[in-house]
Structure 1
Amino acid sequence: MIEHVLRLYPAAYRRAHGGEIAATYRELTAGEPLGSRLREGAGLAAHAMRMRLGLGPTAPAARVLALAYPFALAVSATACGLHLLRWYAALVSSPTPFWVQLRVDLSGAWGALLVSSLIGCVGAAAALTGRWRAGVPLTVTGLLSFAAAVVVSGPAYGDPVVTPTAFALTAAVVLACPPDRRPEATEGGRAGSAGAVIALVVVPCAAVDAHAVPWVSTDYGCWPLLVLAATSVALTWRSGTRGGLELGVMALVSPALFAHVYTTAWGETTAALALAAVLAAAAVIAPLAGRSARTGRTAP
């Protein structure tokens, strides 16, 4: 198998390091079961694709991906969690007996969607707490299996084109971060910031779905993107930069939540215009926040 994996590497890299990679792989997998060999092979294949795309640990893009990584995990957990939340809200409000409804929901494509969402949530939580060797594969598996289930189930859980594409893009961002940058990417408060994003999205949405906020009937999917916009402003203020990197990172990790907006706010002109206005305002406010932070730090 290792010979096939080595072909994925760029030719120059393969000539320079192919023998060492193959020897290390054989040493690590000697006497190991098939599952372990496949897992090591998959890790090498992912590394080969990153090298072929110029996403090595020293590449300029690695900095962007390291910053995006915890927030891509947060978006993964949030997108999957919102689907579980909406399903649970419908379950408890249905007049159908709980166990009957549960048995129906866990069958067929609906069951695949729910299980995929749960896997994505668990994987993202594990990766954010430093268990990325298990968490990243689980997150990617959850996102991609959710995307496949949406294609099969049609409009049951989102647009059959936009939603799968968006979830696949989010999975790609999670995978693209070089493994040796992942521990660094979740240090220095970044994991906490990503966890705050999850909480700031899920808790208000849960309150709306539970009809605990009488003056709000639905967020039309806009609230999660507003949280990302506010996060970009907060990150820019903290770093004191011009905001381009932070805004770009939030745009990079947003597809799964954008798909949520697309499927719930499509045709709602007022909601779409309000969201566009707020996102445009964030693009203006972020550089101002960075400038304010720089001025405050240089002031005597």
Structure 2
Amino acid sequence: MIERVLRLYPAAYRRAHGGEIVATFREMTAGEPLGSRLREGAGLAAHATRMRMGLGTAAPVAKVLALAYPFALAAAAAACGLHLLSWYAGVVSSPAPLGVRLGTDLSGAWGALLVSSLVVVAGSVAALAGRWRVGVPCTVAGLLSFAAAAVVSGRAFGDPVVTPAAMVLAAAVLLACPQDRRAEGVAAGRAGAAGAVVALVVVPRAAIASHGVPWVSTDYGCWPLVVLAATGVALTWSSGSRGGRELAAMALASPPLLAQAYTVAWGEAAAVACLAAALPATAVAAGLAGHLRRSGRILR
């Protein structure tokens, strides 16, 4: 197996490091069960693919991916959490007996969507806690199975084209982040910030679904994107940068929430206008935040 994986590397890299890669792989997997060997082989294949695409650790885009990584996990968990919340609200409000409703919903494509959502949430939590060797493959598998089930189920959990594409893009962002950059991605409080993104997206929506906010009857998908945009501005302020890298990272993290907003807000002119204005408004706010922070440093 390792010889086939080795062919995925660029020729120059394979000539320089092929022997070391093979020796390390065989040493690490000696006596290990098939599952462990396959997992290590999949990790090497992902690394080889990143090298072919110019996404090595030293590549400039690796810094953006490291910043996007925890928030891509957060966006995936938040989007799947919203899907689970929507399903649960439907179960609670349904006049059908609980057993009948569960028996219907947990079969076929619907069941695959619900299980996939749970897998994504659990994997994202594990990865943000630092267990990325388990969490990232779990999250990616959940996203890809969600995408496949969303194609089959039609509009059960979103648009049958936009939603699967967004989930695949989210999985690609997670896989594109170099492994040694993942620890950097969750360092410096970013894991906590990513967890706060999930909470700020899901908790208000849960309050709306439970009619705990009497003056708001529904949500058109804008709020999750506002949370992500505000996170980009906050990161720009804390770093004092010009905001380009932070905006790029939030854009890479946003596909699951964009897809969810698209399916919820489509047809609502005011909501679509707000979503269309979100990116330029965030760019201006991020640039201003970075400028103010840099000015404050200069004055001190």
* TM-score, normalising length: structure 2: 0.97
1:108-257 aligned at under 5 Å gives the runs 108-257=108-257
User: Once the 2 structures are TM-superposed, how far is the Cα of residue 53 of structure 1 from its aligned partner?
Assistant: 0.8
1:4 is paired with a residue whose SS is: helix
Q: Note if contact 1:226-1:279 (Cα within 8 Å) is conserved in structure 2.
A: no
The AA in structure 2 aligned to 1:77 is A
Partner of 2:13: 13
Gaps of 5+ in 1: none
Q: 1:114 to 1:14 in 2, by over 3 A?
A: same
- Which has the higher mean CA deviation after the structures are superposed, 215-224 or 108-117? 215-224
Q: How many residues align?
A: 300
The AA in structure 2 aligned to 1:210 is S
1:68 aligns with 2:68: yes
Partner of 1:97: 97
Deviations 1:25-79 (A, max 9, x none): 1222222221111111101000100111111111111111110110011011101
1:282 aligns with 2:282: yes
1:78 aligns with 2:89: no
1:273 aligns with 2:273: yes
The AA in structure 2 aligned to 1:166 is A
The AA in structure 2 aligned to 1:238 is S
* TM-score, normalising length: structure 1: 0.97
Question: What is the CA RMSD across the aligned residues, in angstroms?
Answer: 1.0
User: Once the 2 structures are TM-superposed, how far is the Cα of residue 18 of structure 1 from its aligned partner?
Assistant: 1.1
Deviations 1:191-227 (A, max 9, x none): 1111111111011111111121122122111111111
Gaps of 5+ in 2: none
Deviations 1:216-245 (A, max 9, x none): 122111111111111111111111111111
2:56 is paired with a residue whose SS is: coil
The AA in structure 2 aligned to 1:93 is S
Separation in 1, partners of 2:234, 2:55: 27
1:263 is paired with a residue whose SS is: helix
Separation in 2, partners of 1:167, 1:283: 25
Over 4 Å off, 4+ runs: none
The AA in structure 1 aligned to 2:67 is L
Indicate the percent of aligned positions where both proteins have the same amino acid: 72
The AA in structure 1 aligned to 2:152 is V
- Which has the higher mean CA deviation after the structures are superposed, 117-126 or 178-187? 178-187
2:8 is paired with a residue whose SS is: coil
